[in-house]
Amino acid sequence: MIKNKIVHIATLMVTLRLVLTVITFAAMAMFLNADGPAFAESTAGEQPGMEGLSLERSIETALANNRQVLMAREGMNYADERLNEANARKYPSLASTASYTRFDEVATVSIGPGVSGTIGDVNNSKGELSIKQPIYSGGRISAGVESALLGKTIQSNQNDDIAKRVVFLAKKAYYDVLLNEAIVEVNRKSETLTKHHLENIQKMAAQGLSFRYELLRVQVQLTNIRAMRIQSETNLQNVRLLFFNTIGLPLEGAESLKLTDKLSMPVGGKEVPEHSARLPLLAGLPAGLEDAFHNRSDLKIAQLRIDMQRQSIVLAESEGKPAFNLMWNFGYEYPSRKEFLTQGWGDYWNIVAVASVPVFEWGRIKARIRQEESLLKQAEIAEMDIRERIKLEVRQSVSSVQDSVVLIETQNENIKQAEEGLRLAEIGYKNGVNTQLEVMDTQMALDTASKNYVQSLYQYNLAKANLDLVTGK
């Protein structure tokens, strides 16, 4: 009977173990299935170059990952805690103390014949709670709070300034990649076209229809273009790495980077603007200055520093004013001061009003005030300097945008003329009218015009980004 029960219990335990094993494996399978798509999605999110990266998304990524932005956000936490510290000085503070003192001897008092006792004990212990409330501080506490508030506002504007500069750097890095991609494409096309010319020259040389000099000239030209293509591909790889570093992505994804936006200047629905596009920029210069004065974080910071320096003067002046504090103390001590000629624990409390007035400090406070007043004048001069610099930067940025507009129009026309010139030169060469040198010259002219056009588009986009930066947008 007992043996059957043991077998039955063993069977139940084995069955239970099997059930638990099946449940465990099922749970693991569900976990893996649930995490699989999420992991794939996360991986795709970390490598945006695989699916294409727009300028807008690049800016969002830079603001989320750039280390300067992250440091600035942490600076805001610091400013918040400084404000909390300054506000705490207005309210009561509670402190506790505990002490033990041992004397070498205590006084003995004789009351009468045969009657004497000691005052106190060689062993003395005390525990105390103290509450301190500032009543008047000469403006020191209120000035500290105001300075902390200004400091928080300054930090907020610094964060905004850093974010705008990161946006500009992200745009510039994006445009750098687009520019170098376009240059690589121009060099590759030029290399392909030169190879085609070389093949034609070799065929004609085999028939005795061309000179060896022309063949050598084209071969040298092909070698030079190939070197330019290799150098441009190296530059492209470097700017891709710099772009990933700017927006805070792992450098390993730079190889597969794909950008979805292009260098362009949409005006009136056209990629290349009409010449009249200069007029709104010229007319909008005063508005640009007004926007800059209203939006520029560095100007706001300079104005806030002036206000903060005024509070520093108040703090310096407060050192020469009276201060008044109220304290309430409660504690237990041994031996108790309430007992006489006996030893025992006892409580006590007291209220203390403390007033302090500086009398003479050899001119230290006045010197401190003069220092702060000098710093105030420096802050006011710095604010004036920033205003003048903003005027200069806005005018330079508007001028750069206008110049790039004209340059785009010119280079776009140059490309059309260079393409037509190359077409006519190739026809003339086939018909024996033009030489190979003339064909190569027109090809070089087309390459130069193409690169200048791309460069003008890059300059325009960069100038617009810089104009947004200097106007505080």
**Nearest CA to 425 among 396, 401, 445, 398?**
445
CB neighbour burial string for 334-369, b if at least 16 within 10 angstroms, e if fewer? bbeeeeeeeeeeeeeeeeeeeeeeeeeeeeebeebb
Q: In sequence order, what E strands does 168-268 have?
A: none
Q: Cα separation of 335 and 106, whole Å?
A: 12
Name which residue leads in pLDDT, 268 or 56.
56
> Could you tell me the pTM of the whole model?
0.70
Q: What share of the chain is helix, strand, coil (3-state, %, to 5)?
A: 70, 15, 15
Question: Which strand (E) or helix (H) includes residue 434?
Answer: none
**Residue 88 in this model has a pLDDT that exceeds 60:** yes
Band of residue 265 on the pLDDT scale cut at 50, 70, 90? low
* pLDDT score for 208: 62
CB distance 117 to 341 below 8 Å? yes
Provide φ and ψ at 301, rounded to 5°. Answer: -65, -40
**DSSP character at residue 275:** G
CB distance 400 to 337 below 8 Å? no
Out of 84-98, 278-292, 302-316, least confident range? 278-292
Query: What is the mean pLDDT of the segment spanning 334-363?
Result: 85
**Residue 28 in this model has a pLDDT that exceeds 70:** no
* pLDDT score for 430: 74
**Residue 30 in this model has a pLDDT that exceeds 60:** no
**DSSP character at residue 152:** H
119 DSSP β-pair partners = 107
Give residue 370's identity as a one-letter amino acid code: R
CB distance 248 to 65 below 8 Å? yes
Q: What mean pLDDT, rounded, does the chain reach?
A: 78
* pLDDT score for 272: 40
**Nearest CA to 289 among 165, 163, 465, 467?**
467
Query: What is the mean pLDDT of the segment spanning 94-112?
Result: 85
* pLDDT score for 204: 67
Token reading at 304: 């806030």
